Amino acid sequence: MHRKIEFGCLPTAIGSMPHVDPQEAIRLVVRYLSEVPAWPQLPRRAHTENMYAQFSEGFPGVLLDDSSHLSLDRTQDLDSGLEKLHLSYLDHNPDGYDISREYAAGLHTFLEAKGAPLAVKGQVTGPISWGLSMIDQGRYAIYDDGLAEAMARHLALKAGWQEQALSEVCQTTIIFVDEPYLTSLGSAFVSLPAEKVSGLLAQTLAGIRGLRGVHCCGSTDWSLVLGLPIDILSFDTYNYAGSLAAYTDEVQKFLSRGGTVAWGAIPNDEESLSSERIASLRERLEEALAQFVSPHLTFRQLARQSLITPACGLATLSYDAAEQVLGYLRDLSADMRTRYV
């Protein structure tokens, strides 16, 4: 479906930040990511802002404990809620699937902020990772096909509601579907056929009318991800650049159709961060991009079809380190844009 927008190495974020005060988090977002700001998830503020808990509001029978663990209460009548969910999905109607301030203070504060961005970015947890975080009668809910489909559609409605809200800030919206558990596909821990994985992801992505992305912070089957109806592929370039290089043909086809790669070029751990400078980060990023240059795709064109992000979320960092990441992100983007865009 690729709708070509050349971001030209502009910076944006994956989502989470370490702050408990949403105003403080938004101040940094506006300062460092003015052109493509992303609303911040604040898991240290409350257990409801954990990435798995955050989108659980309104799912039939869901229980959330104080440790952000999700489970399903089978003593409740789930049928009427599930029927409403499926009808809302088929009607593309996210009304009633809002994300409250209690669950996303960063989002609501972001919606109140001033600015004139080129695009705005949000995020929703993906159905594979969400389905592997909810317990249903002693097993993960994703292994119940009916529940798995309902979860994918619920997340699609959450993404659709979020997209409508963000469009009041800027008409160009980006929603990333965050899927950390894609790194476990094919392992003893996750036994899911590829067609189920792609089918569930496709259902969630169908709830997004604007630009669609998938983020995975590790190595996975990138051919599966690139086969989805997405506009942006986001991954941890700092630690896993080689994993994507194994899929050069698929990446080049994705780019030739107008796709964007969001390069996670800034480390999100303090040890790695302390050893890097803009020059060293640029060299690593240039090496990563160079692997996909071809007679039909120049380095400059590749840079034009790029975003730059942190490797993953920033919630585990100190406040100072999180701001350092955002500063490096802004400065690396400026450096790349001066050289190649």
The owner of tokens 């479906």 is 1
Q: Identity (one letter) of the amino acid at 193?
A: P
Residue-by-residue DSSP string for 52-87 = TTTT-TT-TTEEE-TT--EEE-TTS--HHHHHHHHH
| Residue 272 near residue 238 (C-beta atoms within 8 A) | yes
Question: What's the pLDDT tens digit per position in 219-258?
Answer: 999 999 999 999 999 999 999 999 999 999 999 999 999 9
Chain segment 149-196, per-residue pLDDT in tens: 999 999 999 999 999 999 999 999 999 999 999 998 877 678 899 999
* Calpha distance 24→116 (Å, rounded): 19
**Per-residue confidence (pLDDT) for residue 186, from 0 to 100:** 74
Q: Taking 90 as the threshold, does the pLDDT of residue 274 lie above it?
A: yes
Strand order in the sheet with 139-140: 62-64, 70-72, 134-136, 139-140
The whole-number pLDDT of residue 185 equals: 83
Domains and CATH numbers, the chain: 10-340 (3.20.20.210)
Q: Name 285's bridge partners.
A: none
Tell me: the pLDDT tens digits for 280-295? Answer: 999 999 999 999 999 9
Short-list 127, 121, 119, CA closest to 157: 127
Residue 173: HSE in the Cβ half-sphere, 13 Å Cα cutoff: 22
Q: What is the pLDDT of residue 61?
A: 96
3 pLDDT more than 80: no
Torsion angle (degrees, nearest 10) of CA 198, 258, 262, 217: 20
pLDDT surpasses 70 at 69: yes
Two structure tokens written together for 35? 């052109």
Distance CA 244, CA 255 (A): 13
Sign of CA dihedral 231, 29, 126, 99: negative
Both structure tokens of 282: 């640029």
Report CA-CA distances (Å) from 195 to 150, 245, 300, 314, 316. Answer: 17, 23, 35, 32, 34
